[in-house]
Amino acid sequence: METIILVTVFSTLGVVALVTAIVVAFVKLSKKVDVNRLEKDVDNIWKHSEQVENSIYDEMNQSFENFERVVGETNNDLHRKIDSRFDKLYTEADKLNTRCDDLQTMFEKMYSETMNNKQLLKG
């Protein structure tokens, strides 16, 4: 993310520096150089700088799309793993619940047998 910001800042500074250099050169050389030729060169440089800027933005967009794709895939994988682990957890919890029910039934049976034996001994 910082790299993209740095690339944008540096490309903008580069374009500003290039335009400033051209203007300074134009002012200094306006009497020494053919003005028409200089204007053509400035236009060509300007078009080239726009092409470079567009290619940088295209690369940045591709990088963002790749980043979003990778993050999305990773996020989906994590959700699948978490879902799988929770499914296993619920399965184990159901098994424990069944065992607890069995233990409760066993204890109730033992308690009722104990109570019956005490009544038999008294009676």
Residue matched to tokens 């033992």: 110
Q: Residue 71 has what pLDDT?
A: 87
> What is the spatial distance between Cα 26 and Cα 9, in angstroms, rounded to a whole number?
25
Give the pLDDT of the chain (123 residues) as one tens digit per residue: 677 777 787 788 888 888 888 888 777 776 666 667 778 888 998 999 899 999 999 999 999 999 888 888 888 888 889 988 998 999 998 999 899 888 889 888 888 877 777 766 665
Integer distance in angstroms from the first to the last C-alpha of the chain?
Answer: 86
Q: Residue 120 has what pLDDT?
A: 62
Map out the domains of the chain as residue ranges: 2-90
CA torsion angle 87 90 91 94 (round to 10): -160
pTM over 0.75: no
Residue 118, Cα to own-chain centre: how many angstroms?
A: 70
